[in-house]
Every structure is written in C-alpha cells, then in structure tokens.
Amino acid sequence: MTYPEDTQILDLILSDVKRNEGFRYLVGKYKEKLYWHIRRMVENHEDADDVLQNTFLKIAKNIHGFQQNSSLFTWMYRIATNECINFLNAKKNRNKETLNDDAMYNLYSNDNIDEVNVLQSLAAAIKTLPDKQKLVFNMRYYDELPYQDISDITQTSVGALKASYHLAVKKIEEHIKANL
C-alpha cells in the first residue's frame, strides 16, 4: 500500500472529519518500523506490543502539540524510545534480580560455531549493554539511522552518541570473542 506524505497524514489527523483515516495511515506507515525499534529494546514480543500500543496512544494524545521542529518520524521515534526507557525502568524496579546468561553460554560449543550461534551471541552481548548504549547501538546498527537523527531523537550530542556507539561495539566484540 502506498501511504500519503507525512504532511498529508498530519492534515488528515488535524481535521475533525478525517482524523480516523489519518491515524490509519499513520499506524500503517510506521507500525512496523516502530515495532522493531521497540522489540530490540524490550526483547519480547508481548512487551513490544504493549509498548507500541502505549506509543501510539501517546502519539494520538499529543499529535496536536507536534510543532514540526523535526520530522514526524523522528518525533514518533522519540516517543517510542521514551516509552521503551520507561518500560525498562519499570521492569528493573519490579525485578531487581540480575540476569544470569551463563546457562545460555554453556550451550555454545567452540566446535560448532555457526551463524545461529553468532546471532545468539550478538543478542546476548547486546543484552549486557547499559540501556543508553543498547539504544544507540540498535538505532545505528539495525535501523541504520544517521547520528544526527539519533541526536534529535535522544536529545544527545552527536559526539556523545559516537562515543557511546564505539564503546558498545567494543563491548559486543569482546563478549562475542569470549563466548564463542
């Protein structure tokens, strides 16, 4: 399906008559991108669906306040990112236990290194990153967003983002080397 431009979608949403049609276009156009961004952060399908739903509720509630200082996608991405951070913080508060991935690592055999093991090791390595590094890594590596877009979304300087990404890559490399 071909979706209208963001400005047209916004015009529909802001009109009283076509509001629902505008939201259908908005959700259709961005649901998958936002879902995968959220899913990489929260790591679980059910949680990702919940956070995505909360994201679209916040977007609907605050769309009239969108000042168009950034692109619509960047604004929505920031809301999704904030919802992820809120969810992860709430989850940490509910579950103060530390994650122990040793059992999963023991499943790997150095004689049996293959693509699945590498991908599992990558996922395990990403889990060990602090939330901010995980966020920057996912946005840069998976979503291939430019640093300036990440800066707009996270409200962090480009230099700090580059440093955070570099540290995340180093930690991931070390983790994978140590566990394969």
- 145 and 61 in a single domain? The answer is no
Q: How many domains does the chain have?
A: 2
- Residue 149 CB neighbour total at 10 angstroms: 18
pLDDT at 102: 43
Final residue belonging to a domain, choices 74, 97, 120:
97
- 83 and 159 in a single domain? The answer is no
Q: What is the mean pLDDT of each run of 10 residues along the chain (180 residues)?
A: 89 91 95 94 90 95 89 92 88 54 42 64 88 90 88 91 92 84
Please write down the long-range contacts of 110-116, taking CB distance under 8 Å and 24 or more positions apart: 110/180, 113/180
- 54 and 121 in a single domain? The answer is no
- 63 and 84 in a single domain? The answer is yes
Number of H helices, E strands in the chain: 9, 0
- 91 and 180 in a single domain? The answer is no
- 92 and 131 in a single domain? The answer is no
Please give the Cα distance from 99 to 134 (Å, whole number): 16
Full domain range(s) for residue 149: 98-180
Final residue belonging to a domain, choices 49, 74, 97:
97
Please give the Cα distance from 119 to 100 (Å, whole number): 18
pLDDT at 119: 75
Final residue belonging to a domain, choices 78, 97, 116:
97
Please give the Cα distance from 6 to 44 (Å, whole number): 29
- 5 and 80 in a single domain? The answer is yes
- 118 and 151 in a single domain? The answer is yes
- 1 and 90 in a single domain? The answer is yes
pLDDT at 107: 40
Indicate the pTM of the whole model. Answer: 0.67
- Which residue is associated with the tokens 């431009």? 5
Q: Given phi > 0 = left and psi -120 to 50 = alpha, else beta, which region is 62?
A: alpha
